Structure 1
Amino acid sequence: MIIPIDALEGDTLYSLAESFVLREGTDYGAEEVELEVKVQQVLDRLKSGEAVLVYSELHESVDIKRKEDIEPSDTAE
């Protein structure tokens, strides 16, 4: 199920984005990007609709996915 970002408190949304970034692992790019910058990039994508919050009843967890990567079952209410 997709969770609207405005259904969450700002601190909760930030924590979800931060957790998502920390799970992504080590940055091997040409330039290292600060954690706060990466978190802001994720938040920007959520706010623009490029990414969505998806709740999994099976795993009782929330994940962040690119909108084009969500499964039809993710949209079920």
Structure 2
Amino acid sequence: MDQVIEIPWESIESETLTNILAEYVTRDGTDYGEQEVPTDTKVSQVRRLLAQGTCVLIFQPEDQSLTLMDTQVWKQMQRGLQV
């Protein structure tokens, strides 16, 4: 398995980041419950989480995909990879 890479979200052009986040929040398995939440709202919520440092944007070379990961989980993974 290739090593996953953290992508600094601030380095991504705003429109591109919006498109990445929109793709992420509309993936299968990202249901937000019984009430329908507009995609723009979901994107804003995730963008806020990135800005707060709660999550990070991760690139997975193996399948050429981007995903989001909880910052604490990412840090634990990094420590585990350095062992």
TM class by smaller structure = 0.7 to 0.9
Runs of 4+ more than 4 Å apart: none
Gaps of 5+ in 1: none
For residue 25 of structure 1, report the CA deviation from its aligned partner: 3.9
Report the number of matched residues: 74
TM-score by length of 1: 0.79
Q: Which amino acid aligns with 2:48?
A: D
For residue 28 of structure 1, report the CA deviation from its aligned partner: 2.5
Cα distance in 1 for residues equivalent to 2:46 and 2:55: 8
Calculate the aligned-residue CA RMSD, in Å. Answer: 2.2
Larger RCO (alpha carbons 8 Å, 6+ apart): 1
1:18 aligns with 2:22: yes
The one of 33, 51, 56 aligned to 1:28: 33
Identity of aligned residues (%): 24
Gaps of 5+ in 2: none
TM-score by length of 2: 0.74
Structure label with greater radius of gyration: 2
